[in-house]
Structure formats: structure tokens, C-alpha cells
Amino acid sequence: MFNVKRALESMGHEVVPFSIKSGRNATTEYEPYFAEPLGGQDEAYFDRAKKTPRFAIDVVARLFYSLHVKRRVRKIIDATRPDVAYVLHHYNKLSPSVIDACKERGLKVFVRLSDFFLVCPQAHFLRHDKVCEECLARGLHRAVIHRCVKGSLVASGLKALALYVHKRMMRCYQNVDGFVCTTEFMKSRMEKDGWASEKLHVIPTFSPGGVLVDKDEWAGRGRGGYILYFGRFAKEKGLDLLVNAYLSTDLSERGVKLVLVGGTKAGLEACIEQVLPAAVNIDVKPFLEGELLGEVIREALFVVVPSRWYENLPNVVLEAYAYGKPVIAMKIGSMPEVVWDQETGLLFEREDYEDLAKKLTQLATSADLRMALAQGIAKYHDRFSRERHCGDLMALFEA
């Protein structure tokens, strides 16, 4: 949201934010219009909130339809008179009442699809750490049968019911002017569920830095001599595949370290379900951001995205590309359309750690291949540029 806001403001547009009130929000004059937090608690994550009666009521209300949010949206629209509404995330905390409030005030409304929440109650086509599209093929009740949401029958039932009500009974999304998909893969899943193709527009996320690191900086970089993963430590992220693949090679003996950024060693071992040998050449670092993360990326040989679920154009890939770093990723979901095999990186076969091991060795031991792939990244830069993203977005808003 902040990246898009800054980019549009740099083009001379006024951007009015609307969100949940929180002590951790960026300071803004529009805070008084924001919706109250769930249960009055200043907590962003459901699992960390106190489960009070008020909280439970608010959770259900925001899941289905919130009149409180609707009133707040009307007030901010009446005060600021915007031309268009761009909804980046509304499910769970705001509800589709946001859309109705905007349409009642005569605004064009566009909804960005960050995940698969409109076709899957779990939102990520993920069941027990594996990809599952049963809801798409057989109906939303499959999520209830499998308890896909937090392993809970109640949570899964509420999510499935809310999605059914929004789509089939209230038809909350029929007046949306367009949906912004980050990838063709996302668009294909929406089309498979019956959404009108003419309302689905593919506009990829732009590189976080806005521009690639200058190509002259690529030469001599990667001096850290390590393979890099950064992101959450979770089973669906494929960390067990990456660790097993690395351990099956002789890269550790050759001095090529595996660096994992985003958690603790205990968290990693819980995720991969094994205790790492004391002598293994794997370095675990906590979550990093900004220049600290940038320096770790800059000195890496390449980046690995081993996710076994449907990543939706992950920022990890764009951040790697911004520093001219090739990416190794699993051949699944949208990854083949954002990591071009043998051009900007390498793809390994689904759930095949032996194939991943081959790709790790191939790229870690060939400076020529890494440079060729880095040069390939430059050819695709325009596809992920801030200028193209904002141009496509404004063309959609003004059509």
C-alpha cells in the first residue's frame, strides 16, 4: 500500500488512505475516519488477540458485513470527494461493506487480488501444507470437510459461508469495476471459478526499490559466496526441500554457505522436522528489512524461493531481481511466469529435492551462468517497473 501510495503521489495524485485504527499506523490526518479495531484491541493478528465476547461479535460481523465500517467509509468519502477507490485488502477486518459504501457514493471501485480469497475460503489453495483446489472444482463445502481454516470446523464453516453469501446471495462483487491480478495464473483461477474475463486485469507488482540496482554494481558482487533464502519459516515455504537439497550436495564442504533469513534455528528445525548437524554450513538469521536486508541480498550468489504453495508474485523475487540476483524456484503456480527458466533463474520440478540439489550446484559453481542470468533480469525489468505499474493502473482507473 505504501509503495503504491508513494508512487501515485509522485505523479501528482492525491491518495487518501482508509484502514483500521492502530497505534502502529503511520501518522495521517485521516486517522479519525478509520474503522475501530476488532474488539477494541490494538492487535493486528487474530491469534494474538484476547477472545472476548465483543471480539467474537466483531470478527463475525467483519467477516460477513460491517455497518460500522460502511458508515466510516461514507464519512471519509464525503469529506475528501475521491474519484476512485482502490481496495487492496478488505476481507476479515473491514468486510465487503467497503465496496458498497464506495459504489453508493458513485465511485469507481477496483479490487486488488493479493491472494485467492474469492475462490478459496483458506485463501491460498493450501491444505495440510499441500496445494489443494477442491473448492474450485467441487464447491466451497470441501473447505469445511477438510477443516482448511486453522484446522477448525467452525472457522472453516464461517469462512465458507461468508464467501458463499458474498458471492451468491448478496452479490457484493458484481458492481466492482475491475479486479487487479498480479499474475496470469491468478487470473486463470478466477476465470475457472466463473469470473468475467473482461473484469480481470493483470498488473504485476513493481520492484520495491522502483529501479534495478545499476548493472555496473553486479560485477564483483556476491562476494559473500552464499546461497540465500529470506522469508517466513514455514512448511509451505518449502524450507525442508531447500535444506535437504543443500545437505545432499557437497556445497558445504566447498565453502558455499546456505543463509536463511527470517527466523530462528529452533523455528527452522521445527519447520524441517529435523535437528541440523552441528558442523553443517547453514547460517540462520532473524527477520531483516531495509538496508540490512539489502546488503545480505547484495552479497549473495543467488536467491532460492522453494515454496510449495501458490505464491502470488512474491516480493522476494522482485527484491532479488532489484539486486540483479538470479532466482531458483519450484515449477508451480505463477512462478514460471515470474522466474524465466534459463533466462532470469532456474526452475526445479515440483517436490523434487534432488532436482533442486542439481540446480543449486549448477548455479553455485558457475559464475558465467550467474552473470548470464543477471543480464537476463535486465531484459525483464520493464515488466516490474514502477512506471509501468502506475501507468497501467491509471489507464485502468481512467478507462
> Do residue 179 and residue 228 come from a single domain?
no
Distance CA 103, CA 106 (A): 5
Do 202 and 72 share a structural domain? yes
DSSP class of residue 260?
E
- Alpha-carbon distance values, 60 to 39, 87, 144 (Å): 11, 21, 17
Return the closest-CA partner of residue 360 out of 306, 317, 299, 279.
Answer: 306
pTM score: 0.91
Nearest by Cα to 374 from 301, 309, 335, 324: 324
> Same domain for 299 and 238?
yes
Are residues 392 and 377 both part of a single domain?
no
Q: How many domains does one find in the chain?
A: 2
Cell numbers representing residue 86 in the block: 482502490
Residue 17 to residue 82: CA distance in whole angstroms: 11
Does residue 339 sit in helix, strand or coil?
coil
Beta strands 257-261 and 282-285 are parallel
* Overall residue count recorded for the chain in this entry: 399
CATH assignment at residue 312: 3.40.50.2000
- At 124, which CATH number? 3.40.50
Q: Are 49 and 62 in contact (CB under 8 A)?
A: no
Structural domain boundaries enclosing 342:
215-384
| 175 and 250 part of one domain | no
Nearest to 228 by CA among 341, 309, 319: 319
Residues 161 and 260 in one domain: no
Q: Three cell numbers at 143?
A: 473447505
Query: In tens digits, what is the pLDDT along the chain, a chain of 399 residues?
Result: 999 999 999 999 999 999 999 999 999 999 999 999 998 888 877 777 888 988 888 899 999 999 999 999 999 999 999 999 999 999 989 999 999 999 999 999 999 999 999 999 999 999 988 899 999 999 999 999 999 999 999 999 999 999 999 999 999 999 999 999 999 999 999 999 999 999 999 999 987 654 455 555 554 466 789 999 999 999 999 999 999 999 999 999 999 999 999 999 999 999 999 888 877 899 999 999 888 999 999 999 999 999 999 998 999 999 999 888 999 999 999 999 999 999 999 999 999 999 999 999 999 999 999 999 998 998 887 888 889 999 999 999 998
Are residues 97 and 183 part of one domain? yes
Q: Which amino acid is at 25?
A: N
Residues 192 and 292 in one domain: no
Return d(Cα 235, Cα 232) in angstroms, integer: 9
Q: Give me the residue label for grid cell 509501468.
A: 388
DSSP state of 85: E
Phi, psi of 242 (to 5 degrees): -65, -45
pLDDT computed for residue 128 by the predictor: 85
Distances in Å between the Cα of 321 and the Cα atoms of 111, 318, 388 are: 27, 5, 16
Residues 161 and 191 occupy one common structural domain = yes
Lookup: cell for 262: 527470517
Helices and strands in the chain: count of H runs, count of E runs: 15, 12
Task: Indicate whether 43 and 189 sit together in one domain.
Answer: yes
**Residue 79 and residue 184 in one domain:** yes
Q: How far, in Å, CA of 54 to CA of 58, rounded?
A: 6
- Give the start-end residues of each E strand in 105-157: 108-113, 126-127, 130-131
Does 319 lie in the same domain as 230? yes
